[in-house]
Chains A and B, each alone.
Chain A
Amino acid sequence: MSVGGESLRQRYAPALVAAAAAVFLVHAFAAAGDAPRTEAPQQLAETPTTARLAPTDARRLFVLDTAFPAAEAARTYVLDGTSGKIEGMFNQAYWPNFAVSPDGKELYAVDTYFEKHTRGKRSDYIVVRDAQTLEVKVDIPLPAGRLLIVSKKYNFDVTPDGHYGLTFNLAPSTAVTVTDLRARHAVGEIDIAGCGLIFAQAPNRFSSLCADGSIDTVTFDASAHASIARAEHIFDAKDDPAFEHSAWDKHHQMLYLITYRGSVVPVSLAGDRAVAGTAWSLASTAERAAGWRPGGWQISHFHHASRRLYVLMHQGGPWTHKTSGREVWVYDAPSGRRLERIKLREPAQSVAVSQDADPLVYVIDDSDRIDAYRSATGERLYSTAPIGFSPQLLTVWGE
């Protein structure tokens, strides 16, 4: 390569010679042990290293950035949720998904690549990374592909024992690919006609929401042979549909469907067929009249130990289900009793809560910052600088 007719080597030769000499001298001092007493040269001669993350804990926060409008440049940031400090990042690909293994030792990135950036042969993988080094351990092919959609958490889930990864597909019929994460290969496809999303509640079972308001519960074996039990009329999919990011309490196998109008439909997924409980409302009659309703992207999250439900709420009219929330409303989910209203410094698209005993509420605000609030008091702890291009999904370990 040349710049203005002068080769780079020629141009920078003097500087390279000086740098090489400096390195030589430092090493020479170190080798001779003849160092100045106040500044030990061997301490200046740093050896390049790579940081290693501490083992995954309850305050680790993963932020998936879909990188609008350069969607092939999606990535996930790793944050210390206690301080908001970025501890690492790794690349993802076109409209990805992400999850943490139940033991916290592996990270799963569901990615779609094209051979020549935006063209050429398409390949889909579950990319398995070490949770402390972020290095790739294996790319597990998804031969049947996956649905490409602006990233939604529950198009991918991992069974509670960590054995199977389940990815949603629509090409053109709706199906779920079962991947054996231990054996590192895809096992097969299960058709879920007319349904979507994946909530994996048991080692061999998941449930999906269906276009007619029913819920299919799929029990499968090691060869991905399945039996499906449909529970009908769980919710009104046409006139008051449930959000895709409804609250999922995997530990208690309870799905809290949150509807566009602000109803909560508790659904037990503990058995081989879904069972709906009594619906309740997020807002009082007066609050509904004032326009309070749920909205955003990842609009809700759940704290398993306390069984508390967190929902982004805003004031708006019909068809504002993607409008950012100004407050996070907190509920005791079994009783439906509201415990708290956390007023946000700025409207937010997505919410998650850490799963420790003193939980923090994280939101992605409309300036692409992570704002953290203490659940117990509503106090804001910090706001990060804007992160990435379009941070969109939050994940915590053990959710």
Chain B
Amino acid sequence: MDPIVGPFDRLIESLSRTVARRTSRRGFLQRGSAWLVAASAMPLLPAARPVHAADPPAGGKPARKYASAFANRAQTTDPTQCNYWRYCSSDGYLCACCGGGPSTCPPGTTPSPTSWVGSCINPDDGKTYLIAYRDCCGQDSCGRCSCLGQEGDMPSYRPQVNNDIVWCFGSSSMVYHCSSAGLVGLVD
């Protein structure tokens, strides 16, 4: 499909393994098959609704500075907005609107030990950063700042790159609350 897909997938699948190794996940990953270990980098949750969608414009011809349509519209100052630069692949309710922050879970919830990793461009410096998308789990959906990210989202038979699954595996609760987007590092 679009040029971004191939490299995007490969990046996520390889990085997810890296992050999985770094993350203390004990039981879940140990039980998982090799296929699932690759998938364990998983996405966040939901927001399958057409709310504040961060879609590319119709016709697919935005003013392009970057290959990513999202990056061309991203900002770096307000993490409560769908177009905050780290949310290029995020899908769900923003933790920054729910008592937490881009890398902080709100009170009463816990960060899922599993996450997936995307790569987003920071328009301030033009560099690409690795972002750990991690669900905060343990309370019902926050319900604020719903953002529907579609870039890189694939069907759920490819779970490692699908953003509709409740990715609270390994957490004390399988109830999704909100989506965070923590910095991991700089893409070399």
Mark A residues whose CB is within 8 Å of B: 66, 68-72, 94-95, 114, 118-119, 122, 147-150, 152, 155, 170-174, 193-197, 208-211, 237-244, 260-261, 290-291, 297, 314-324, 347, 349, 366, 390, 392
Q: Report B2-20 residues with CB < 8 Å from chain A CB.
A: 2, 4-6, 9
What 5 A-B pairs are tightest by C-beta distance, nearest first? A317-B60, A69-B143, A196-B157, A69-B141, A318-B2
Q: Which of A152, A291, A321 is B156 in contact with, Cβ under 8 Å?
A: A152
**Contact digits for B148-188, partner A, Cβ 8 Å, 1 yes 0 no:** 10111111111100101110010001111000000000000
Nearest to A112 among chain B residues (CB) is: B174
Per the bound structure, the CA–CA distance linking A122 and B33 in Å amounts to: 23
Residues of A within 8 A of B2 (CB): 318-319
The contact sample of 13 A-B pairs, CB cut-off 8 A, is A68-B143, A173-B33, A174-B36, A237-B155, A241-B158, A297-B48, A317-B58, A317-B60, A318-B1, A320-B58, A321-B150, A322-B48, A322-B50
Give the size range of B's interface with the partner.
35 or more
Q: Which of A155, A260, A317 is B56 in contact with, Cβ under 8 Å?
A: A317
Residues of A within 8 A of B141 (CB): 68-71
Residues of B within 8 A of A174 (CB): 35-36, 159
Question: Taking the nearest CB of chain A, how far is it from the CB of B160, in angstroms?
Answer: 8
Are A118 and B173 neighbours in the complex by a CB distance under 8 Å? yes
Residues of B within 8 A of A71 (CB): 46, 140-141, 176
Per the bound structure, the CA–CA distance linking A240 and B151 in Å amounts to: 14
Are B58 and A315 neighbours in the complex by a CB distance under 8 Å? yes
Q: Which of A95, A114, A155, A319 is B151 in contact with, Cβ under 8 Å?
A: A319
B128 on the A face (CB < 8 A):
no
Per the bound structure, the CA–CA distance linking A181 and B60 in Å amounts to: 47
Are B56 and A316 neighbours in the complex by a CB distance under 8 Å? yes
Per the bound structure, the CA–CA distance linking A243 and B40 in Å amounts to: 22
Residues of A within 8 A of B126 (CB): none
